[in-house]
Amino acid sequence: MAEQDPLNAWAAVQEIRKRSPLVHNITNYVVMNTSANAILAIGGSPVMAHAEEEMADMVALASVLVINIGTLSREWIKSMFKAAEHAAKRGIPIVLDPVGAGATPYRTRTVRELVAATRPTIIRGNASEIMALCGDGAKTKGVESTVVSPDAVGAARSLYGSLGSVICISGATDYIVGGEEVFRINNGHPMMTRVTGLGCTATVLCGAFAAVTPDPARATAQAMAVMGIAGEIAAERAEGPGTLQLYFLDALYRLTEDDIIRRIRMES
């Protein structure tokens, strides 16, 4: 089995479906519904909780914390820091999506402060966002990357070295940097870029897999492979972005061991 499914992604999917880990999300308005449905489809249990007053209590129930800075506000930023503090005390994984890092000084400064204070377990972003976190002056176009994923591998290595966080760079090829080994996931479909929030969906899937796979680099690679495979399956049925999103959730829900074995394209 290990030779056919080098990441043991199917075993992780089964574990998610068995345990239904609670994934606590502090995320943006645009993607809440899509993210929650993706977690449910893969077998997890989502909660979208943002009030600072309940952060300690909600994190106490969760198996993983996912922070997404897409729609920043002063109140939510306070909640992000408080939730991360309590997650660190409990020893549960923290997954960060630095949406739009590099687009504005406020956004970039906020996420850098958050990273420095929380030392996330996993950071998943596009190439521009990862490079902006590293301080090399990379810019994003809104929330879209202006560079391709291989360009950010050096920045990812630097961030891993300074933070110890696993870094995932999304793109046509997804790069996962977490030590000496770099995973390259070549699954996915170009139409996925036409559906808002699928990058954020990748982040919450990283959270679900991190809840059941102790090695965060492997958990991230599992999540990105499953994400890409579901996108490929959906694209084969979809007529456009609208139906792609519909079939993507179905693909996550109906995912089988055979789907993973036949489709996974991973290098390390």
| Angle, in degrees to the nearest 10, between helices 241-254 and 32-42 | 30
Q: Quick one: pLDDT at residue 137? A: 52
Q: Quick one: pLDDT at residue 1? A: 39
Percentage with pLDDT > 90 across the chain: 90
pLDDT band at 124 (very low <50, low <70, confident <90, very high): very high
DSSP H or E run through 65? strand 64-68
Rg, Å, the chain Cα set: 17
Query: Which one has a higher pLDDT value, 140 or 21?
Result: 21
Q: In the CATH scheme, what architecture does the domain 9-267 have?
A: 3-Layer(aba) Sandwich (3.40)
Q: Quick one: pLDDT at residue 134? A: 87
* Per-domain residue ranges of the chain: 9-267
- Around Cβ 161, how many Cβ atoms within 10 Å? 11
Q: Quick one: pLDDT at residue 105? A: 92
pLDDT tens for 173-200 read 999 999 888 999 999 999 999 999 999 9
pLDDT tens for 213-229 read 999 999 999 999 999 99
Residue 91 burial (10 A CB sphere; 0-12, 13-18, 19+): exposed
- Around Cβ 240, how many Cβ atoms within 10 Å? 10
Read off the pLDDT of each residue in 116-145 and give the average, rounded to a whole number. Answer: 79
Q: Quick one: pLDDT at residue 4? A: 86
